[in-house]
Structure 1
Amino acid sequence: MNSNMTLVCNVCEGETDCRFGYSNRVHQPFSFACPHCASLMLVTMDTSSPPQTKFEFKGCEPSEGQHRLFSDHKNPFVDLHLDFPVRFGKYIIGNTPYMMAAQELNGTSESVAEGQAKMAFHNQRLDQLNYFSDRTDEIKVIIRLYSGKNKQLFKKRVSDFLNKDLGPSLQPQDINAALYQFLTFIFLPFFHLGEVKSLVDWITEITMNLAGKPLDDFVRNIIDTGFLSTLQKDCLKLYSDIYSAELPLRPALYLDLIHGYEKAKIAARVSTKDFQSYKDLYKDIIEVFSRQLILVAGINNLIHRGDINAFPTINGGTLSSITKFSEKTLSERFKYLDDCWYDIDREVIDTEVRNSIAHNNVSYNDVTQIIEYFPDGGRIEPTPAQQIYFLDFMRMILVAFREINNLHHLVKCLFYYEYLILQNPERKNK
């Protein structure tokens, strides 16, 4: 279902033809920049009383006779849909975002049945997001309770939320089990469960094979210094932020289903919020990921050289300790992860975008949704810009978050090593 209307900007009085595609959410907030003056225009659809739809407007108003076809093309045209990328261009009858997405899935699949299955999978994830989006505040409260002192209250709230008896135990391993059950249940739309399960099995196998004094010392050190606990808390903050970004992440989730998708190749838009709202989220994700690599490096050194401080020789030199590794920049850290046990997708970690944001060397065109970033910015002489679309940027956030989530399970496994191995009375007495 779609609604057509012409909107008049409250700032410049310019007219824009809009086609609103319906999602399966009750409240559907859209925002976009006026093509004439770039002022923000917001429209919220309320579908709680079907077949009627209630519209609320901010920064714009509907013109008289707004429900029509836009055959004359006299005004700029904007396609809007929460769940799919929306393309630039002229209004074409029938080329709705949903129909374009369905055609794209069929065209990039081996059969129509496969394309239909992909669309059904996308809709399933959207239904999950819709269900949990109304409970975002409750989700954030439960995550915050984990870091507090009242573990009994935390576990009770998780049990109530999951509608599942988690037992009375307040042992740290059982508290952590409740946490990760909760996170897996809530954030399932954002990651691939099979990939996570395989990774957890792989980490468990590695730690069991490495069990012994070098690994014991490493785990004790990162726990005694508070590094592992602080890293876990910083991971948890990102989970809350991701649910706050679930609306612009919906089209990015759709891109999971496109075979051969390439960043900066699809001129498509997102129908809600803008770059300024989420630029710091990507920077924060990359910062946490960079610190997670310290754990990856320690395990990698144990696997290859039996010592967390034994790094490979690079260009005739080497690092003397894991502490020295922690002082390196993210881009430098990668080269010390030789034949790494954890397969890092380097394409999803764009240090140039991250550094440009961190140093405010970035600009955003609200109308075209093009982000220009300047990796060599800050100099007197002008420096060349690179470009990505806001949709690509949200895709980067999604995939980087998956890396964070994967390595958060490494944090979990190292805590379990402490609880179940290092604190095992029988092992202590040996």
Structure 2
Amino acid sequence: MNINMTVRCDECSNHTNCRCGMSNRDHQPLKFTCRNCGSTIGITFDVQGADSLDTVALAAMLSSKNKRKPPKLNQGVRHRVTGATEVEGESPFKPGIDFVDLHLDFPVVFGEYEMGNTPYMQASMRSGAERAAFHRDRLGLVNAQYKKYPQVIKLIGMYNSGFHGPFAVLARKSFKVEVRSKRLEDINAALYTVVSHYVLPFTLPDTSQGASRKFTHTVLDLLQSKREATGAFLQKLYDTEYLVGLQRDCLKIYKPIFHAEMPLRPALFLDLDPSYVEGQVPMRVSTNDFEEYKEVYKDMAEIYSRQLVLVAGINNLIKRGDHDAFASGVWVTAKGKDQAPDGLEDYADVALGNKPRFLDDPWFTLDPVAQDNKLRNGIAHAKIDYNEVTQKITYYPKLEGMQRASKEEIFLLDYMRRMLALFREVHRLHHLIKCLNYAILLEPGASLIKKPPGV
């Protein structure tokens, strides 16, 4: 179902024709930028019975006596406009007036108005009707869950703060998940039962499950085949509290992902769009909030960099029987100096862009889309520009003194896609953190750890 309207910008009086595609979400805040002056204009829809809106609209059209003049199809839909005033416009839209297509769930391509060529129809033609229907079903799960996101965030906060009693109460009352005992392994089990359920639509479930099985098998195999060396690795993680701090920071990433639910919706569709090539088509996101999400990428990249320390430690155990033993000759300078880290402590300080170099024939395959150190550097050093009208992001990844010569350009939707890919990789490696935590808490690994008396 689509609702057409014309709005006049409050700042410059420029007119824009808007075609607003309805999602199945009951609250739909859409945004775009006036092409004439750059002011933000919002159109917010509140929809009753959002999941049956298309069915109701189709029934109204079929039952209409006057087929030339279809009935109004906005029953149960209320909307309000901010930053502009709704005015009477021509129907159908005429050329010569700015036009914007808006839809929470699908990418929108810049261009002229074409009757019937809605974002949903464009997406269906690119992906096929079956995949578009799958996208709709996946977002149906988001629609059913998003009002519970604040409770999930609250549960994570209680866990990270050590409030295990209130945590157990909230888990039982809000999520019907029982904490079996006060032991940390049972509290962890309850936490990840909730988190895994609510993060499911944003992940690739088969990939996550496959990674979890691989981590478990690898760690158990090391505990049997290289018991003492693996025990030393676990002892290092325990003594430095590296795993505890990393788990706490990993859990913090779910809050910004939940908050980014709306601009991530069209990025999720790109999983299903075989024609998508980054940067070639300036596809639009109907929630224009890059500034709110740019720090999220940088923070996740920092966590990812620390997660690679765990991957490297296990890689060294598998290849050389010592978590601190990196392969020599992997990266040698022109003067013949071997840059191999002296151990995990040294490797932890290696820049993210260089870390994968020292994972020789790694046991775990990293996602290359998630490894974008150029974008991370551009954000970290505030060398990034955003054009709100075109949704183009320009970033400068190199250290060039006062100049800004070497630039990269992507669109907002491309950025959300990269953010989603990085999140999935951090979430996937979070399973490794869980696995190593259980190795420290449970046998056969627990007896290898020397703990202070009373712990």
Both structures adopt the same fold (TM-score exceeding 0.5): yes
Aligned to 2:159: 146
Aligned to 1:135: 148
Is residue 224 of structure 1 aligned with residue 239 of structure 2?
yes
Aligned to 1:109: none
The partner residue of 2:341 within 319, 326, 340 is 319
The partner residue of 1:169 within 173, 176, 181 is 181
Aligned to 1:354: 376
Is residue 406 of structure 1 aligned with residue 428 of structure 2?
yes
2:370/2:418 contact within 8 Å kept:
yes
More deviation, 81-90/371-380: 371-380
Under a length normalisation based on structure 2, what TM-score does the superposition of the two structures give?
A: 0.88
Using the TM superposition, give the Cα deviation of residue 67 of structure 1 relative to its aligned residue in structure 2, in angstroms: 6.8
Aligned to 1:112: none
2:369/2:422 contact within 8 Å kept:
no
Q: Deviations over 1:125-158 (max 9, x none)?
A: 1111112211222121111011123313213322
Q: 1:199 is matched by which residue type in structure 2?
A: A
1:377/1:383 contact within 8 Å kept:
no
Q: Distance in 2 between matches of 1:403 and 1:320?
A: 26
Q: 1:320 is matched by which residue type in structure 2?
A: D
More deviation, 310-319/86-95: 310-319
The partner residue of 1:85 within 100, 104, 107 is 107
The partner residue of 1:102 within 99, 113, 124 is 124
Q: Secondary structure at the match of 1:137?
A: helix
Using the TM superposition, give the Cα deviation of residue 259 of structure 1 relative to its aligned residue in structure 2, in angstroms: 2.1
Aligned to 1:51: 75
Q: Secondary structure at the match of 2:251?
A: helix
Using the TM superposition, give the Cα deviation of residue 58 of structure 1 relative to its aligned residue in structure 2, in angstroms: 1.4
Q: Distance in 2 between matches of 1:260 and 1:227?
A: 42
Q: Distance in 1 between matches of 2:164 and 2:404?
A: 55
Q: Deviations over 1:400-427 (max 9, x none)?
A: 0000000001000000001112675699
1:216/1:422 contact within 8 Å kept:
no
Question: Percent identity of the aligned residues?
Answer: 39
Aligned to 2:132: 119
RMSD over aligned CA atoms reads 1.8
Q: Distance in 2 between matches of 1:98 and 1:379?
A: 46
More deviation, 208-217/183-192: 208-217
Q: Secondary structure at the match of 2:442?
A: helix
The partner residue of 1:250 within 265, 277, 284 is 265
Q: Secondary structure at the match of 2:317?
A: helix
The partner residue of 1:421 within 443, 446, 455 is 443
1:361/1:377 contact within 8 Å kept:
no
Q: Distance in 2 between matches of 1:247 and 1:371?
A: 19
Q: Distance in 2 between matches of 1:228 and 1:422?
A: 18
More deviation, 181-190/312-321: 312-321
Q: Distance in 2 between matches of 1:66 and 1:121?
A: 35
Q: Distance in 2 between matches of 1:78 and 1:279?
A: 24
Aligned to 2:54: none
Q: Deviations over 1:195-229 (max 9, x none)?
A: 11111111111111111121112112212212111
Aligned to 2:57: none
2:102/2:108 contact within 8 Å kept:
yes
Q: Which ranges of structure 1 fall in alignment gaps of 5 or more residues?
A: 107-114
Q: Secondary structure at the match of 2:382?
A: coil
Q: How many residues align?
A: 416
2:179/2:190 contact within 8 Å kept:
no
Structure showing greater radius of gyration is: 2
Q: Secondary structure at the match of 1:187?
A: helix
The partner residue of 2:415 within 382, 386, 393 is 393
